[in-house]
A and B are shown apart, each in its own frame.
Chain A
Amino acid sequence: MITWELSRRRRQFFWMAALTCLGVLFFNGFFGQSVDRAIAQSSKTLTMGTSADYKPFEFHDTSSGQDKIVGYDIDVAERIAKDLGFELKINDMDFNGLIPALQSKRVDFVMSGVTLTAERKKSIDFSDIYYIVQNTILAKKDSGLTTEASLNGKIVGTQLGSVQQKVAKKIPGAKLETRNKISELIQELNAGRIDAVIVEDVSAKSYVNINPNLQFSVLQGNEEGYAIAFPKGSNLVQPFNRAIATMKQDGTLKQLDQKWFSAQAKPTQSGFQRILPSIPYILGGIPVTLAFTFVSLFFGVILAVILAMCKISAIAPLRWLANAYTSVFRGVPLIVTLTLIYYATPQLTGYKIEPFQAGVLTFALNSGAYVSETLRAGIVAVDKGQQEAAMSLGVPYRLMMSDIILPQAFKNILPALANEFINLLKDSALVSTIGAADLLRRATVVGAETYLYFQPLIIVAIAYYLMIILLTFGTSILEKRLQKSA
């Protein structure tokens, strides 16, 4: 991974690399779908890379129950593409995947609130600045925190790895706190654990809109500008600049300003009313979550059977291998395994593993380790006479295991298996960290769109809980039925 000079609103690349290696939780972004360049070029299509989690520049609009990427950047890009006679195609990906996508020319340009800096100009080309942002101090209304000087001795929060983090560091006497998301900073601000938050003005406006008890003040001398990024040497830079100039002159940019930044009406509805239209989108994560859980458990149990067979095998190396495997996968936190598999696999093998695959692989490997231990105990608990009876009838070992011993062992461990299933269902929320659109991930997306933090989470909490209640009910029925047969 490239270590990228840290100067945008978001995480820095070296942070991403460090987080990846450490397996620290982070959120964000779908992995980019590969684009067939040949087709794209022949049909006069321009492919734009963006990380659609930055309202109102680019974000998922789920208010219709459908999922659509909209925003200021999208409108600007649509207009430019139209002016130049191209079809626009949007490729949503993680922010840290944008620059590599540019360099490998999988996208023609990137619009994602990218800040123009001298360092970045060395490896990619930029258009003229199309949007100017300012950093602001966001604080409670009665706090009196409106100037840099007033922040002396106060606790100041910024988003981890953001440009603002760098800015805040220079504030004399301020105690720095970082969080992964701006929405988390706002919660901290409201809870009084943080005195002020440094964010750019666009976010500040949106949050003040939602939280009338907050106010923001421009932090003087901290202007920066967003520009469109291109691969080095791209012949699109000049036409794009001309289009931007036209849009500046004919008032298009002003209109878009109005559309996306000023037109946000004060919320008159409650938080739940406002996310109501997005609920179908959030609940669309249920099949994703269930698919993760079922597929993972399916492969996990197959793996567990193999491992358990090894563990009770007479061949010592097989036992060692199975025990070592179990020890490793039980000893490493799931989130670490998941992050390693998702990010290391492409680098080690060149195979760009999809979030779903990485998730299933991780959970299957992990639950295989757990279930194998349970299953081994379940096998040992089967009366030895069963094995002798099968043997004395001339039943081969493999058939004895699959037809006589394992069915009884699985019955023994059914309650434990149901538990594992429930754990897996809840743990599957971890896949949201690599961008799979499961329940939790969708709640985050809606949260970013509506600036609401708790309501989407409460929706998914209820969804998880109901699923688990149903599952528990289902397994208890199954247990009762099995008990009848013996």
Chain B
Amino acid sequence: MLKVDDLHKSFGTLKVLSGITTQVDQGEVVAILGPSGSGKSTFLRCLNLLEQPTSGNIYFKDVRINDPQCNILKTRANIVMVFQHFNLFPHLTVLQNITYAPMKVKGLSKEQARSIGIDLLEKVDLAEKADVYPSRLSGGQKQRVAIARALAMQPEMVLFDEPTSALDPEMVKEVLEVMQSLAQSGMTMAIVTHEMGFARKVANRILFLNDGVLAEDTTPQEFFTNPQCDRAKIFLDKMLK
């Protein structure tokens, strides 16, 4: 479904990604791991063009989405992202956060958007919070709302950028559970995460990035029991201690 071909990204003279080639199939859950500064987040942000690749191509369903002719807004509405810091709109209620983009971007009626929104809020177990403002929610609740907001666009793929890194430990679980059930529903997902247990349990594939290069592209089983490159071994040593 998603194909990445020789992706390069530099910020000025700083080279962050140097030639990444991979692909994600429909329904696949890909965990992107790597030490900090390895380019994981930049890679993820290139996938919905929050960052423009310096060179290389990204194809979604065989359409080259980093083509200037291609409608970037449509791409983003279809490949949505969940952020580390939730980025909920503070001046809108929980339900308004969720219904805003479906109404304004996809042109759904208020009723349609509402029914989708309430449905999703029930799925993330926050139906009773529909009319409160985000400032009244805990971190875990905020992230669940953010996931619901992303899903309300009825996207074909969801990108997660360290979705649990900003959460208190006791709230990590509730978010991971939501993500897991989303994975089980067959959603195509790419997740940058430091939750090794979650990656091992939920992901179909592991991409290990090191210094802007795709060092390993393998199954969780293979990666966690028998990592190939030295850098991955050191990384796992540190993470699993």
Contacts and interface: CB of A to CB of B under 8 A. Distances in A.
A403 interface: yes
A407 B91 contact: yes
B135 interface: yes
B91 A411 contact: yes
B85 interface: yes
B211 to A, nearest CB: 25
Given A393-B76, A393-B150, A385 B89 contact: no
Contact of B80 (A386, A393, A404): A393
Nearest to A386: B87
Given A393-B76, A394-B77, A394-B101, A486 B153 contact: no
Interface in A396-451: 396, 399, 403-404, 407-408, 411
A383 interface: yes
A389 interface: yes
A3 interface: no
B76 A392 contact: yes
Interface residues of A, number: 21
Interface in B64-95: 73-78, 80-81, 83, 85-91
A321 interface: no
A392 B89 CA distance: 13
Nearest to A407: B91
A394 B75 CA distance: 7
A399 B104 contact: yes
Nearest to B133: A485
A389 B83 contact: yes
Nearest to A486: B90
A388 B83 contact: yes
A484 to B, nearest CB: 8
A391 interface: yes
A394 B65 CA distance: 14
B153 A394 contact: yes
B50 A386 contact: no
Per DSSP, are chain A's interface residues mostly helix, strand or loop, or mixed?
A: helix
A486 B80 contact: no
Contacts of B108: none
Interface string B93-120: 0000000110011000000000000000
Contact of B90 (A388, A392, A393, A408): A408
Interface string B181-209: 00000000000000000000000000000
Nearest to A382: B90
B89 A404 contact: yes
B149 interface: yes
A392 B91 contact: no
A391 B87 CA distance: 11
Contacts, number: 73
A486 B135 contact: yes
Nearest to A387: B87
B85 A486 contact: no
A408 B91 contact: yes
A380 B105 CA distance: 24
A377 interface: no
A411 B135 CA distance: 15
Contact of B83 (A385, A396, A486): A385
Nearest to B84: A385
B48 interface: yes
Interface string A33-77: 000000000000000000000000000000000000000000000
Given A385-B85, A485-B91, A394 B76 contact: yes
A383 B101 contact: no
Contacts of A393: 76-77, 80, 100-101, 105, 149-150, 153
Contacts of A408: 89-91
B163 to A, nearest CB: 13
A392 B47 CA distance: 11
Contact of B73 (A396, A403, A404): A396
Contacts of B85: 383, 385
Contact of B91 (A389, A390, A394, A486): A486
A390 B146 CA distance: 12
Contacts of B91: 407-408, 411, 485-486
Given A486-B133, A486-B135, A394 B50 contact: no
A407 B100 CA distance: 14
B90 to A, nearest CB: 4
A468 interface: no
B93 to A, nearest CB: 8
A395 interface: yes
Interface string B2-32: 0000000000000000000000000000000
Contacts of B146: 389
Which of B83, B90, B149, B153 has the most chain A CB within a 10 Å cutoff? B90
Given A395-B101, A408-B91, A485-B133, 12 more contacts: A385-B86, A388-B81, A392-B50, A392-B76, A392-B80, A393-B76, A393-B149, A394-B73, A394-B78, A394-B80, A485-B90, A486-B135
Q: List 10 tightest A-B contacts by C-beta distance, closest first.
A: A394-B77, A389-B87, A385-B87, A393-B101, A392-B81, A486-B90, A394-B76, A394-B73, A394-B105, A407-B91
21 contacts: A383-B87, A385-B86, A386-B89, A388-B50, A388-B81, A388-B87, A389-B83, A392-B150, A393-B101, A394-B74, A394-B77, A394-B101, A395-B105, A396-B73, A396-B105, A403-B100, A408-B89, A484-B133, A485-B91, A486-B91, A486-B135
Interface of A: 383, 385-386, 388-396, 399, 403-404, 407-408, 411, 484-486
